[in-house]
Structure formats: structure tokens, C-alpha cells
Structure 1
Amino acid sequence: MNFEPFSSFVKKDPFQQLDEPVRLLVHKLPGEAQQYLADLIAEELSLLTVKNYVYDLNLLWDFCKNEGIGDIAEIDHALLKSFFQYLANGYERIVYTKLMKADPKTGEIKEQWVEKRYFRKNSLAGGQARKVSTYNSFFDYLLRNNAISVNPMKELEKKKASKRGGSKQQSEPMFLTYQECLDYLAAINKYYENREEDKRFKSELEIRDRAIILLFLNSGLRVSELCSLNTESIRLHRENTTLSVLGKGKKNRTLHVNEQTFLAISSYLDARPKKIPKEHQHALFLNRDHTRISRKAVYEIVKKYARVANIDETSVSKLSPHKLRHTFATLLLQNGANIKVVQELLGHENISTTNIYVHAVDREKEAAISSLNRLFSTE
């Protein structure tokens, strides 16, 4: 089932029965969620229930966007675990409030809907149960319509059940090992071997892709942050290269870039196309048509080299830009970085979000100690 934006094929708004502020929230959701809600209305589900589903889905989607997730299919059980940890500490809910404002020129009073956020404490058990029900129902709907291959809520529940049962198997977050990172980077060269005769071959694409992958692995950027980088966002200096990143909540943070990434970006800037449309001249990373690179293009770049590297998809659960962000954080902690430093580098507002990587490292340590059993077994 192909989920297109509602405006492209719906003449009559299926959400007209909902209050205006709720309709505004609906239209902030991706096409898959809008179609799901429209089907619920068509099935004559209680409008109050639909309204609650709208709030729940917006809460999840707002969290996803802040984490750099731009595609429903990218939501996995690791992200959901992080999301529920975020809820446990209280969360922000988006609402629309109607204001009456006077036009500065004519003095005419006009209605204006303004987006506001307000903090809510962790909901009671009933509210939590409703959210779980909402997300299970939504992902089951996507599964039935072949939009996803697995319900991540079910995967999360399996992990929780496994943990309660005493299983030591590693759960989330999913990330590449150091060796997989090396294989992944080597796949870029491998992909472009003997492609000089290919009419679509452009040498700057290989150089660009290497710079993009190294930025993900060495800075933990969200995909939205990478796509929005401009040439003036980066200050190149071999001893101290920095990136100015506009992150979550439109907050700027400065990231330092290591020498390997410095060399990759420098090479890309040298190879970067010179003839660029005026409106895209400031974009750092460009696509084949010399316009600002899109999220979708970056997703495809990341997945392409995972296939070439033959990385075990069961261990990385379909590699994505977000998994590379997981990799950056986990490798830092494995090498002794302070969690507060990692929190600042990732741009996490709440340290509980960063803590999921500490748990992953702890499980790695447990597994490493357990592996010594085979060496000192007396049997």
C-alpha cells in the first residue's frame, strides 16, 4: 500500500469531524499515520478515541523527528525503548491555541492558531496502557498493509519478556562493531571499483559518500542535521575543524571534527560541483543534480554500502543513519568517554536518552567476561 500525503489525493477532508486544533495536529503527521486515522474514522470509531490516538501519534512522531527519524519504517524497538524512557521522565505535548490578533496594517481582528508546548508529568497507568495500545494498533495496521516488515512494539515486548526471563542476550541499541565500521568504509571503494566506464559514474559521488559516512561515524549527526549543513557551517582547519550544527529545538551546538573526517570533507569540497543552482549554492552536500541532498538520498547511500559490505542485517536491524548515530555513541563509551560529554555531542536534552548506550556497553562487558568461561572450564 502506497501512503502518499493526503493533499495529493483527498478532495474532502476526512478529519472535518474533529476539532480544528486536533485537525492541525493530524496534518503534522506522515501519510501513513493520516491514512490510519482516516480509516479509523471511516470505521466509525469514537471521535474521542481518535482524538487520543492523534495526541499519542504526534507525541511519538515529534520524538522521532527530534531524533532525526524521517521515515516511519525507520522506527524500531530500540527507538521505542528510548521513547518510553523519555515519557517516564515527563514530556512535552504539542497543542494549538487560538489567538485573536489585529492586523498591523488594517486593524482587522483575525483568528490565528499558534503551536504551543507544555510539560506533562508521566501519565498514570491507564494513560501508558492507552499509548501502548495505540502504537500496537498503528504498527499492526502498517504490517497488514506491507508498509513495514515487523511490528517494533512486539519486538520491544519480546525484549522485555526476555530480560524478565533472565536472558543475557543483547538488546538495544543496535550498532556496528569496530570491525564492521572498517568493512563498511572499505565497501565505498569496493562499490566504485571498475566503474569508470559507467555513464552514471561521477567521481565526486564516491568522495561525497565517504565524507557523509565518516561524519555520521565520527560526529553522530542526525540525518536532518547532516542534510541541513551549509558550506559556512564548517570551519576547516587541520588542527581544529569545527561544525556548527542546528539541532533539536533549533539549538546550535559546535562539534569538533577529527583529522580523518577533516581530510574527507576537504577532498569533497575540492571535488564539489561548481555549477550549482542559486538556491542551493550554500548547501554542503549535493545530490546528482547539484541540489541539496535529501533525507531519502542519504538513507539510500547508507544502505547501499551496507549491502556491499555484506553486514549481517540481523545484528544491525537494517542499517540506517540513526544506527550510525548509535554506533558513534556506543564506540565513544566503549573507549571510556564521559556520558555527559556524549550527551552534549549527541545534542540530547535529557541524559536518560543517552543512558541507553551505557546499558549496551555494560551488556558488552558482561558478554566479554562470560566468554572467559570457555577458557577456564575444567570440564
Structure 2
Amino acid sequence: MGVYSEPGRGYKYDFVLKKQRHTSRYFKTKTEAKRAEAARREELNRPVQKLGETQTDMAFLDLVNYKLDNVKAYNSKSHYEEFVYAARRWHALWGKLSCGEITQRIIEKFVLERSEVSPYTANKEIRYLKATFNFGIKKGMITTNPVMGIDMMPEDKKRKHIPSFQDIAKVIAEANQDTRDYLWTIRDTMGRVSEINALKWEDVDLRQKTVTLYTRKKRGGHRTPRVIPLTDLLVDILSRRSKDPDEKKPWVFWHRYWDRKQKRWIEGPYHNRHKLMRTLCDRAGVAPFGFHALRHAGASLLDQKRIPLGTIQKILGHENRQTTEIYLHSMGDSERAAMAAFERATGGNTMAREAAAREKPHSNSHSERAGSHGLRLVKG
């Protein structure tokens, strides 16, 4: 035990203290893992707070580590990774401070600097910091949250680009066979990328023509399953891929890649494929879109076909109905009918035609330009 690397997972620390084992993984470097191990040992060796005593302050780095452990245990892997990126920035700025030394003014300055990237980025920092300090208050580690009085930055909400199914087909056609299978599966299940990456053959039922996807979006961090019926296209794709399965590779989609740090080939499920869609969109000559747009496009199509909102919500795996409504970008008949009624009430068409009839055709002749200034030209 100690600090060592795991194939495809980065570095990990593992030690036993007071007959209890403590471990954490997903560190990018060995140095980072050693620092985290030292901080954890220091935390465990700290005198235990007696019952009835009220703790008012603690090291900010300790609070962040506690929160990261909680996020890792109860949230999705992608959410944990986003929190880690944010925590690294905080550590560089406030790693040697106590929670009580981090004031609202310090946070505001940091948020303003992050807003230069984008208001969305700044607001994410506010949400994560607020959650971290609230976690400390809830656990009785600290008593105040310096983020509570900070307002969210104003964001310009823009309608997301949802590609047509023709553009989606063009993009998928530019991919190789394995990637085409991967993208068709995302499109026809409307699953999250993380769900498709984690998809295993034990979750596929070709007899019943269903696939089970798991998400951790619900409160509490539990892996919640939902069953999605397979389209005929996916039945064909998964049937073809299921031939001669390798027991060592339980995933439906996996890849083999060279790990520079470990200097060896590794086989495992996909993790991040951020550059893939932009490359394929460029090749296909269409406006760029990402994996999530496939999910939006499917939801909007179901809405256009008058599928009940509750059914779409189940397919997408949304706990909140309002989240599903955000995905539906199609303009419904109610909006069109409302604008038609508005036009009838205001006489918009009639007024426009009458105004057009009164308007004389424009000309560039000298006589009309002169007449427009009240002058009369008489031929001599």
C-alpha cells in the first residue's frame, strides 16, 4: 500500500491507520496523491471534538477534502471531476487559509475574475463554493458561509443550437464504424454520454429489445435505472457487436489506448471524447454541436409528435418535469395560435396592405428628387 498508479484511473493513495483503511483515487500525479494522503493523515490524527463542543473554524483545505469525499460518494463521476477542477483553483489561492479567513470580499474578487471567462463560469464557482461552505455548516465544522451574500452574475440566455436529423446523419456518416455505432446508440436512446460509456452487456436485453441505463442525477447519489426500448436500428447494431463477446471487456463500447505515463497499452471504457464531435462536424460541413444536442434533438422530435411530456421525462431520466421542458425547443401550436389571434385582433395584415397601396414606387429620376423638395422644373 501507499501511493501507486492504477491503469486508466491515475494515482491512488491507500493506507491503514488505527486498524481502518483509507483510500482515494483519480489523482493525476503522484505528488498530488502524496499531498492528499498527508492531508488525510493529518485530518485523522487531529483531536476528536468532544460532544457538546461547537467548532467555529477549520482549515479551508480540510473542508474542501471533506466535500470532495462526499461528492465522490454521492454524485456522478463527471460531477466529481468538475468539482476537483474547481477545488484545484481554490487550493492555489486559499490553500493555506482557514475558513474564517476567507471573507465575502475575497470571494467577490475571485468571482469577478472568473466572470472574465464567462458569467456562466463565475456562477458555477459561486454554486460550488456555496455548496462547500454549506456542507461544513451542516456537518458542524464551521458556522458561517461567506458566499451567502453574493449574487449570481447575469447571464445572456441563448437558445441552444439543436441540429436537424439530416445534419446528425451527415456527421455520423463521417465517423468510422465503431464511432457510428456509438453515436447511433446515443441518438436512439437519448442517453447521457456517461450512461452510454458505462453501458455493459448485462444491461442489454436483445430478446426484450430493451437497454437499461443508469444515472446518478437524482438526489442522494443512488444509481437509478431506467429501461429504454430499442429501435430496430439499435437491435441490429447491438446484435452485431454482441457476437463473440470478450468476458474481460464487459462494456458495449471500449477502446485500447497508449498511456504515456504508464508506457503501456490499456483497454477500458470511454471516458472523455470532447474533440470528437467538433472534428466530425467540421468534416460534414455543418454547424458544430455536441453529444448532448443528440439528446435535445430526440426530445424535441418526440414533442413534435405529441408524445406526452411524462413519457419524454421517463425516457430522458429526468426527476423534475421542468428539466424536461427545457429540452423541448419546438414551437407548439399554442404559440402559433396565439400570434395568429394577435394579428387578427390588431388587423395587422389589412393595415400592412393598405400602407403598401398608399406608398408610391421609388425612382431615381431628377424630376422626382427635385419634387421631393417642393421644386417644379418647367421645360423652357
TM-score by length of 1: 0.53
- Residue in structure 2 matching 1:175, options 158, 162, 187: 162
Q: Where in structure 1 are there 5+ consecutive unaligned residues?
A: 58-72, 85-92, 100-112, 114-125, 134-153, 160-170, 189-205, 314-318
How big is the shift at 1:209? 1.5
How far apart in 2 are the matches of 1:362 and 1:353? 17
- SS of the equivalent of 1:254 reads strand
Q: Do the aligned residues in 1 keep the contact of 2:60 with 2:96 (CA within 8 Å)?
A: no
How far apart in 1 are the matches of 2:296 and 2:338? 23
The equivalent residue for 1:18 is: 60
Percent identity reads: 18
The equivalent residue for 2:270 is: 294
How big is the shift at 1:243? 0.2
1:235 aligns with 2:205: yes
The equivalent residue for 2:150 is: 130
Q: Do the aligned residues in 2 keep the contact of 1:284 with 1:292 (CA within 8 Å)?
A: no
- SS of the equivalent of 1:291 reads strand
Structure 1 residues 245 and 94 mapped into 2: Cα distance closer, same or farther (>3 Å)? farther
Q: Do the aligned residues in 2 keep the contact of 1:21 with 1:96 (CA within 8 Å)?
A: no
1:255 aligns with 2:275: no
- 5 Å-filtered alignment, 1:83-122, equals none
Q: Report Cα offsets for 1:140-187 as digits up to 9, x if no partner.
A: xxxxxxxxxxxxxx6xx223xxxxxxxxxxx33432122212222332
How far apart in 2 are the matches of 1:266 and 1:339? 31
- Residue in structure 2 matching 1:306, options 281, 298, 303: 281
The equivalent residue for 1:41 is: 94
How big is the shift at 1:348? 0.6
1:224 aligns with 2:194: yes
The equivalent residue for 1:323 is: 293
How far apart in 1 are the matches of 2:89 and 2:292? 25
How big is the shift at 1:350? 0.9
- Residue in structure 1 matching 2:241, options 262, 268, 274: 268
1:338 aligns with 2:308: yes
How big is the shift at 1:40? 2.8
Aligned residues: 254
How big is the shift at 1:291? 2.7
TM-score by length of 2: 0.53
Q: Which amino acid aligns with 2:301?
A: L
Q: Report Cα offsets for 1:66-95 as digits up to 9, x if no partner.
A: xxxxxxx9x9969x89xx9xxxxxxxx867
Larger Rg: 2
Q: Where in structure 2 are there 5+ consecutive unaligned residues?
A: 1-25, 40-57, 72-79, 112-116, 128-133, 142-146, 217-221, 258-265, 344-348, 357-380
How far apart in 2 are the matches of 1:187 and 1:368? 40
How far apart in 1 are the matches of 2:135 and 2:293? 27
How big is the shift at 1:230? 0.9
- 5 Å-filtered alignment, 1:31-70, equals 31-41=84-94, 47-49=101-103
The equivalent residue for 1:362 is: 331
